[in-house]
């Protein structure tokens, strides 16, 4: 394997054409799950220089004030080797365009037929049996904008519009899909909708604007209910009556969730803990975090034994100018493994998606100065990232999904 000759450490990546105009985002491509409400970011006040009060009666001039030298902006990085990607693995990348990328050759092909109006981007990609659900959401470029559009893509068929929603998650029953619409006005309620993958609307009901629905467990909807002050609450809610069935934990924010597992952060004082546990039964594991660390994205492996975590780059606090990074947490041993060659700027985090067999982690890093994104795949057994050639339009937000060659990415 040859080492990538171009060290991607900032500056615009190679890309054809002009720079396109530009919930989360953070990072290069929004992952195939979440994205959306409830992303947490620790913003800290800048420190000020101490005031010189002098000595009473002293005529000596006060010392010259120290010049504040601003920290150099952090640059995105994605470095590794230029060959060795797995055969049969493809990435579906969203953002400013919907593109399939072959992880072995780097070949790219556009996915056509899904409308992309101005002010919109491909913000979420969700695999389902025989296809992929795509959300065309807000591109975060500013201005008032309505709910997104949800489409179903199946190989060889025209896209089917399912519902208007800002994010989606799978229903526990086959052929069902939940959609969530953010409140647009202060005091307004959010909306929860249920549809079939054939596009038939099953239910639509208002829910509190503080809710963030996360998953359908089959025993209730997993919902994070946030408060203006203090920790929020992770609960199970009856999908029909919306009655709270069970309170599971206090949370500052939820980092990742599946129908069986959840990972959440709870902060108190100068420390934060990452808690990972089964939703129905079983022990919970707690991992101590630095209070300056903010998790931008987290994704369970297919076997739910590992958690891939993308941290924000830090822009303040005790370690200003610290690049964001990606690590792998083994939930059985507690071992942390940092992915080499990945760095993100302040308030940005990489996007992540697992290969279906759990052997590879797809990574996306965005270059915020021009809105383009670079992709790579990392073997979780160890070694360098395979940096895929070229770049893709990302805008302010995007999405990433890893599928097998027999999957329904295109």
Rounded CA-CA distance 33/258 in Å is 10
Retrieve residue 94's tokens.
């969203």
DSSP-derived secondary structure letter, 64: P
- Pairing assessment for the beta strands 351-354 and 89-93 based on DSSP bridges: unpaired
Residue-wise pLDDT for 35-87, tens only, equals 333 333 232 223 222 323 333 333 344 444 444 444 567 889 999 998 878 99
Provide the whole-model pTM.
0.80
Map tokens 């909807």 to a residue. 221
DSSP 307-320: EEEEEPBB-STTST
Residue-wise pLDDT for 164-217, tens only, equals 999 999 999 999 999 999 998 888 999 999 999 999 999 999 999 999 999 999
Rounded CA-CA distance 373/342 in Å is 13
User: Does residue 124 contact residue 137 with C-beta atoms inside 8 Å?
Assistant: yes
Domain 30-36+75-404: CATH class, spelled out? mainly beta
Rounded CA-CA distance 181/201 in Å is 14
Task: Calculate what percentage of the chain has a pLDDT beyond 90.
Answer: 60
158-162, 192-196, 221-225, 269-273 — which is least confidently predicted? 269-273
DSSP-derived secondary structure letter, 103: T
DSSP-derived secondary structure letter, 302: T
Which spans in 259-410 are helix H?
Answer: none
Residues 6+ apart with CB under 8 A from 320: 71, 314
DSSP-derived secondary structure letter, 333: T
- What's the pLDDT score for residue 372? 87
């Amino acid at each position: 394997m040859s080492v990538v000759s171009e060290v991607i450490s900032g500056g615009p990546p190679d890309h054809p054409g002009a720079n396109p105009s530009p919930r989360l985002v953070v990072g290069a491509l929004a992952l195939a799950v979440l994205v959306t409400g409830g992303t947490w970011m620790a913003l800290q006040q800048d420190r000020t220089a101490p005031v010189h009060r002098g000595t009473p009666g002293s005529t000596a001039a006060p010392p010259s004030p120290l010049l504040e030298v601003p920290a150099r902006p952090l640059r995105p990085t994605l470095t590794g080797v230029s060959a060795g990607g797995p055969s049969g693995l493809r990435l579906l990348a969203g953002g400013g365009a919907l593109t399939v990328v072959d992880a072995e050759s780097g070949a790219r092909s556009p996915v056509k037929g899904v409308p992309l109006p101005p002010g919109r981007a491909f913000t979420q990609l969700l695999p389902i049996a025989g296809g992929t659900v795509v959300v065309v959401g807000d591109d975060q470029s500013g201005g008032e904008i309505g709910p997104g559009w949800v489409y179903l893509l199946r190989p060889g068929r025209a896209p089917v519009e399912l519902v208007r929603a800002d994010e989606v998650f799978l229903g526990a029953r086959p052929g069902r899909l939940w959609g969530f619409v953010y409140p647009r006005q202060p005091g307004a309620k959010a909306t929860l909708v249920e549809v079939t993958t054939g596009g038939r609307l099953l239910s639509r009901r208002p829910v509190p604007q503080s809710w963030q629905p996360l998953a359908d467990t089959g025993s209730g909807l997993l919902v994070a209910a946030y408060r203006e002050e203090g920790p929020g609450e992770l609960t199970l809610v009856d999908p029909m009556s919306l009655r709270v069935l069970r309170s599971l934990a206090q949370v500052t924010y939820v980092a990742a969730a599946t129908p069986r597992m959840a990972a959440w952060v709870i902060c108190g004082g100068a420390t934060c803990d990452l808690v990972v546990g089964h939703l129905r039964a079983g022990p919970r594991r707690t991992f101590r975090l630095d209070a300056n660390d903010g998790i931008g994205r987290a994704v369970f492996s297919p076997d739910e034994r590992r958690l891939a975590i993308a941290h924000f780059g830090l822009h303040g606090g005790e370690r200003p100018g610290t690049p964001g990074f990606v690590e792998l947490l083994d939930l059985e041993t507690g071992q942390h493994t940092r992915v080499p060659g990945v760095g993100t700027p302040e308030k940005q985090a990489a996007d992540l998606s697992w290969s279906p067999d759990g052997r590879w982690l797809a990574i996306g890093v965005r270059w915020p100065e021009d809105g383009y994104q670079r992709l790579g795949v990392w073997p979780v057994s160890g070694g360098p990232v395979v940096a895929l050639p070229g770049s893709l339009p990302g805008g302010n937000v995007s999405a990433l999904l890893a599928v097998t060659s027999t999957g329904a990415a295109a």
